[in-house]
């Protein structure tokens, strides 16, 4: 029995998951897999083993693809509002199971329970958004240059959508993709991170419950558990017209290369190196609250984590003093305990990356102001992966600062003179996901949002870099991949676009006034 065996058993019972000999099948329901390869799943809270999951074989993967293809033939012909009704019911189930699901997210991934609940709420919110979308999915009408012709655009389901998700948001990002794809008439195949498959299995059971209640085929939503090889199978598979991948820039480049080689479509949500600018006109209380949450939330393991704090020189000493007082007071511990603000990193490799980045940046000339310790003083910490969030005074051009370290390290950078100097520092990295400015000066905020301002996909004024709402399109530029998920018109990537022209005249005029006289 592990230290969390009772809790995991309680969660599984509530979610109606029935593990068989601690194993799970890779497809729609639980059961034994023929695969000999097993994946051991540990909690980062104390390193204890939670369960095992079966890894998909190539044969099982082919079966899932076949199941998905068969289901698509039925699903694409189902009226979109009816597809929306299924998603509405999924949202209701998620509401029903919100607390145990949120607890499972915290247990398996390590984010604090409030953030676990927030992630489940994101799934619920995107279900609500998708239900409304199911009665829109609109095209456009254009004026034809030819008399008695009607020209318009419409959107059709694309087919199978492959979803490769990351450990830091083990369920929300899947829902962003899967619920929109579902109302668009697509089916999906989900490869969760091998670090967090239990939350994926739980979601799959919830979806299976809804499909069974509505007598729908299982293959609309599919789950396959595997390692990097499985991701390569999906990226190279011509039967999957769209692959949506969330993860590191390195991983995204491999996915993009494989998908592009077969002229498929990829939706990439990759690394971020997000900056928050504090100008001399900022409300400092608001700015520092946003900074701390953005920098240490999810133990620095969000793609939108605040990694660089660019502060006007007139406020630098004051900001340093306040942050160096606040950071040591952060409550670090089990994410399941009330009052904890910072949980563990995901695994030992993440701790090593944290250590290495701090060593490298100090070798470049950075000054460690606070934090940076590997915590071992409590019994809980001995087998877990706990660190104290660090603040390093540094220069933007340092190679370590230029790279994303998926851990709670905040680089403090000063600027002088005009706001344009701060914006230049912010933009001077290869990533372009999220950005923020704190200022009460209208001219500064407008410059930040103008063509000469932030080059990121997300640009916020007087709120932090993390915590995006589902109503807006989420994604970034440059090495962040250029993809857009969630709200706005992000749904269009899950469909194929078609231009239609109808001639209701008795003649055959050609476009551009071309004359082609032919007697028939």
On whether the CB atoms of residues 347 and 41 are closer than 8 A, the answer is no
Instruction: Residue 460: name the closest of 426, 436, 438, 433 by CA.
Output: 436
Using CA atoms, how far apart are residues 268 and 475, in angstroms rounded to an integer? 8
Q: Where are the beta strands (DSSP E) in 375-457?
A: 390-393, 409-415, 431-432, 434-438
Q: Give the H/E segment covering residue 503.
A: strand 495-503
CA torsion sign for 44, 120, 327, 463 is positive
> d(Cα 447, Cα 392) in Å, to the nearest integer?
28
Q: Evaluate the CA torsion angle 443, 448, 449, 450 in order and state its sign.
A: positive
The answer to whether the CB of 225 falls within 8 A of the CB of 26 is yes
What is the Cβ-side half-sphere exposure of residue 265, based on CA atoms within 13 angstroms?
16
303 classed as catalytic: yes
User: Is residue 24 a contact partner of residue 30, using CB atoms and an 8 Å limit?
Assistant: yes
Instruction: Spell out a b/e string for 224-245, using b for 16 or more CB atoms within 10 Å of the CB, else e.
Output: bbbeeebbebbbebeebbbbbb
User: 314, exposed or middle or buried, with CB in 10 Å at 0-12, 13-18, 19+?
Assistant: exposed
Catalytic residue among 184, 188, 303, 456: 303
| 10 annotated active-site | no
Q: In whole angstroms, give the CA distance from residue 31 to residue 22.
A: 10
Whether the Cβ atoms of residue 35 and residue 56 lie closer than 8 Å to each other:
yes
Phi-psi category of residue 467: left, alpha or beta, with phi > 0 → left and psi -120 to 50 → alpha = left
Q: Tell me whether residue 111 is exposed, middle or buried, using C-beta atoms within 10 angstroms of its C-beta: 0 to 12, 13 to 18, 19 or more.
A: buried
Give the active site residue among 108, 218, 269, 404: 269
Residues 6+ apart with CB under 8 A from 480: 249, 268, 269, 270, 271, 272, 303, 431, 432, 433, 456, 457
Q: Which residues are known to be catalytic?
A: 269, 303
């Amino acid at each position: 029995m592990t230290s969390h065996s009772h809790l995991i058993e309680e969660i599984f019972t509530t979610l109606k998951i029935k593990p068989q000999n601690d194993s799970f099948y890779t497809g729609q329901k639980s059961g034994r897999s023929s695969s000999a390869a097993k994946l051991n799943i540990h909690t980062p809270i104390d390193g204890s083993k939670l369960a095992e999951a079966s890894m998909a074989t190539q044969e099982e993967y082919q079966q899932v693809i076949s199941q998905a293809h068969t289901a698509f033939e039925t699903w694409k012909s189902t009226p979109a509002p009816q597809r929306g009704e299924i998603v509405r019911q999924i949202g209701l189930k998620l509401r029903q199971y919100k607390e145990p699901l949120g607890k499972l997210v915290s247990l398996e991934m390590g984010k604090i329970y409030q953030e676990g609940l927030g992630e489940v709420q994101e799934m619920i919110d995107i279900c609500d958004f998708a239900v409304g979308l199911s009665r829109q999915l609109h095209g456009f009408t254009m004026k034809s240059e030819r008399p008695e012709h009607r020209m318009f655009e419409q959107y059709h389901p694309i087919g199978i959508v492959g979803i490769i998700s990351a450990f830091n948001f083990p369920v929300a990002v899947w829902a962003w993709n899967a619920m929109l794809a579902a109302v668009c008439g697509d089916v999906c195949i989900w490869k969760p991170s091998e670090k967090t498959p239990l939350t994926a299995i739980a979601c799959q059971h919830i979806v299976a419950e809804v499909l069974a209640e509505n007598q729908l085929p299982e293959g609309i939503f599919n789950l396959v558990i595997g390692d990097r090889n499985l991701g390569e199978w999906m990226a190279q598979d011509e039967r999957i017209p769209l692959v949506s991948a969330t993860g590191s820039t390195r991983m995204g480049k491999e996915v993009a290369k494989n998908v592009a080689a077969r002229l498929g479509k990829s939706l990439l949500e990759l690394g971020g190196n997000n900056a928050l600018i504090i100008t001399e006109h900022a409300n400092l209380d608001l700015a520092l609250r946003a900074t701390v949450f953005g920098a240490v939330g999810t133990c620095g393991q969000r793609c939108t984590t605040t990694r660089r704090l660019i502060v006007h020189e007139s406020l630098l000493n004051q900001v340093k003093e306040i942050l160096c007082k606040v950071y040591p007071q952060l409550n670090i511990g089990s994410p399941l305990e009330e009052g904890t603000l910072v949980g563990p990193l995901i695994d030992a490799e993440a701790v090593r990356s944290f250590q290495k980045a701090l060593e490298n940046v100090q070798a470049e000339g950075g000054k460690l102001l606070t934090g940076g310790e590997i915590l071992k003083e409590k019994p809980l910490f001995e087998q877990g992966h706990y660190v104290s969030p660090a603040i390093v005074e540094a220069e933007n051009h340092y190679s370590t600062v230029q790279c994303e370290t998926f851990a709670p390290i905040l680089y403090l950078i000063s600027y002088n003179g005009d706001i344009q100097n701060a914006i230049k520092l912010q933009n001077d990295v290869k990533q372009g996901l999220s950005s923020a400015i704190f200022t009460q000066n209208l001219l500064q905020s407008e410059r930040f949002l103008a063509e000469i301002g932030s080059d990121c996909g997300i640009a916020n004024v007087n709120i932090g870099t993390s915590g995006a709402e589902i109503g807006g399109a989420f994604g970034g530029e440059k090495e962040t991949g250029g993809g857009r998920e969630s709200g706005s018109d992000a749904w269009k990537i899950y469909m194929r676009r078609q231009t239609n022209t109808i001639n209701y005249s008795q003649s055959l005029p050609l476009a551009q006034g071309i004359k082609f006289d032919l007697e028939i």
